[in-house]
Amino acid sequence: MIGPLSLMARAQSYIDVEAERAAQRTGSEVAGEVTGAPSNTSSTSTPVSPYGSQPAQSYPATSYGLNSAPAAPVSSAPVSAGATGGVGAGGQNLGNLFYQIQQLQQEVMRLNGKVEEQANELRKLKEQSLERYVDLDKRLSGAGTTAPGLAPAPAPSASTAPSGAAAIAGSSAVEQPGEGESYRAAYALVRGQQFNDAITAFQKFLRDYPDGKYAANAHYWLGELFLVVQPQDLEASRQSFTLLLDQYPDNNKAPDAMYKLGKVYFLKGNRERSREYMDRVISEYGSSGSSAVKLARDFITENY
């Protein structure tokens, strides 16, 4: 009996010692996990006693037949301010783009209006040029063998003949050498619609032949040309027509010059003076058959 009891005591003693060692090892491992310190127990240490405390274990989530893969974790992180702010910034950019498109559309409409206005002005200028050319053709058809653009000067009567230089230039002035060629060259520029060059040519003609046979015609065409060029020179046109009427009152260009002078004053904003010249055309040349009379009547009907 002593033998078995002694063996049992030794076995119980061995079990107690091993249990104490296992408890110490388990406590050191737990302390290492908490503090991050490495455990003193080597990989070859004695296995953990099944009777000691065991660490918690994590197991994969199961779907119980619905799906073999674990469910994705739901993030609880809040949406950043930049993510929500991007929507607002994009909306603002779209608003700015829409506003710029509206501005461009308005600018295109304004430019279209300018183009229409300029086209209308160009059409009026072409109509005026056609009116002058039609009148020119009428004068040319009755001019006989005279120079292009020139009408024969009327014979002066004893009661209405002008005196001095006006009489010589307006009625019986003799063509000076080279005068006809110089005038025809300037007039050809008018027919070719080279208006600026024509102005220069007629101004030179008047410097070379101030009392020439065609001086009155040169003043008349200068008055016309200053109305055609862009920009118009209304004052220069007024001076040219006024010189013609003052120096050559009996010239066949006088009715047309008076009508044109009335139009110049109208363009300058002086409606009263314009009406005065239109009335003078009708009263002074009403029985002459001049085309300026009808033009003056039509102008009054349209503007007064």
pLDDT in tens, 120-132: 877 776 666 656 5
What pLDDT sits at residue 218?
Answer: 96
What are the backbone angles phi and psi of residue 38, rounded to the nearest 5°?
-70, 150
- Selection from 176, 186, 162, 178 nearest residue 254 by Cα: 162
Q: Is 78 helix (H, G, I), strand (E, B) or coil?
A: coil
Give me the domain span that covers residue 303.
253-304
Average pLDDT, the chain: 73
Domain presence at residue 200:
no
Domain presence at residue 293:
yes
- Report H helices in the chain: 2-35, 81-141, 164-167, 179-191, 195-208, 215-228, 234-247, 254-267, 271-285, 291-303
Cβ–Cβ under 8 Å, residues 270 and 304: no
Greater confidence (167 vs 254) lies with 254
Most confident range, picked from 100-109, 150-159, 200-209: 200-209
- Return left, alpha or beta for 282; rule: phi > 0 is left, psi -120 to 50 is alpha, else beta: alpha
> Which of these ranges, 2-6, 148-152, 206-210, has the smallest mean pLDDT?
148-152
Domain presence at residue 225:
no
Model pLDDT for residues 229-279, shown as the tens digit of each residue? 988 899 999 999 999 999 999 999 999 999 999 999 999 999 999 999 999
Q: Look at the chain and report how many structural domains it folds into.
A: 1
Domain presence at residue 223:
no
Question: Who contacts 40 (Cβ-Cβ below 8 Å, separation ≥6)?
Answer: 28
What pLDDT sits at residue 20?
Answer: 63
Domain presence at residue 208:
no
Other CB atoms within 10 Å distance of the CB of residue 215: 26
Domain presence at residue 39:
no
Q: Cα 170 to chain center, whole Å? A: 52
Check whether 26 has a pLDDT greater than 80.
no
Q: Is 46 helix (H, G, I), strand (E, B) or coil?
A: coil
Greater confidence (217 vs 148) lies with 217
Domain presence at residue 273:
yes
Residue burial 127-145, b: 16+ Cβ < 10 Å; e: rest:
eeeeebeeebeebeeeeee
Domain presence at residue 278:
yes
Greater confidence (112 vs 204) lies with 204
